[in-house]
Amino acid sequence: MESLSFDLAATPLREVNRFLHGPAAGLQDRHVLIANPDGAHNIAVGLNAPVKVTVDGHAGYYAGGMNQLADITIEGSASTGVAENMMSGRVHVKGFASNAAGASAHGGLLVIDGDAGLRCGISLKGADIVVGGSVGSFSGFMAQAGRMVVCGNAGDALGDSLYEAVIYVRGKIASLGADAQLEPMTDSDLASVTELLAAAGLAHDPAQFRRVASARSLYHWNSDADQEY
């Protein structure tokens, strides 16, 4: 694999992203190292090629956002909206992730080795998210499709207004959100957790996880509920 390095201490991020937005044929099977990111925002956003990118440090807002096909590794932590609206590919955060990690992601895999902040997986639309640590409150809020695996604990209102997405939690759940409920783990659930843990390089026992899914009482408007859900 051919490697190429950019140093953000000497090269503007706009130039780096312009290179990463080049023709897919010229990026395929290349490894791009981005040094000295220093928390810059919008690193490696909107990629649409099977290129491997390593961010050697901490990233700011929206790192890896709108990703397609690329394999992006952040060696540090990531701020708000990492892998936001990801369509395919893989984003791996070796540290922690701030709020709204994986927001509205349609496909691909987001792996966070540490904890994730508030609203992890908000409005998830089909991607998979694996968090090695814990997640903050309102994670999985309005998640429409996809799977989330939380190896630690979950904050308040987990899965609030959940649709067809499923959340698997190994640790404690502070509280469930509106219309979210615990359900029995099936063989299919165990297989899903096994698959996702393996993809994230984690070795937990799938049988230790609990399934959180929608009770489906919010699918249709109920005028008699008087807003009491």
Q: Are 66 and 49 in contact (CB under 8 A)?
A: no
200 vs 209: CA distance, rounded Å: 16
Q: Which has the closest alpha carbon to 136: 168, 169, 158, 151?
A: 158
- pLDDT level of residue 221 (50, 70, 90 thresholds): low
pLDDT at 226: 60
The residue assigned the tokens 């130039």 is 15
Longest Cα separation, the chain = 63
By DSSP bridging, strand 145-150 and strand 125-131 are parallel
pLDDT at 40: 97
Q: Are 125 and 141 in contact (CB under 8 A)?
A: no
Q: Which has the closest alpha carbon to 56: 19, 16, 102, 88?
A: 16
Q: Are 83 and 110 in contact (CB under 8 A)?
A: yes
Structure tokens at 63: 């790192």
Q: How far is CA 131 from CA 12, 57, 91, 97, 111, in A?
A: 31, 19, 12, 9, 6
Q: What is the pLDDT of residues 161-188, one digit of tens each?
A: 999 999 999 999 999 999 999 999 999 9
Three-point CA angle 219, 189, 110, nearest 5°: 80
pLDDT at 125: 98
Q: Name 149's bridge partners.
A: 130, 168
**Mean pLDDT estimate for the chain:** 95
Q: What is the pLDDT of residues 29-71, one digit of tens each?
A: 899 999 999 999 999 999 999 999 999 999 999 999 999 999 9
Q: What is the pLDDT of residues 101-138, one digit of tens each?
A: 999 999 999 999 999 999 999 999 999 999 999 999 99
Q: How far is CA 141 from CA 130, 145, 152, 156, 170, in A?
A: 16, 11, 18, 11, 19
Q: What is the pLDDT of residues 138-148, one digit of tens each?
A: 999 999 999 99
215 vs 197: CA distance, rounded Å: 26
65 vs 43: CA distance, rounded Å: 8
The residue assigned the tokens 């899914």 is 213
122 vs 110: CA distance, rounded Å: 13
pLDDT at 121: 98
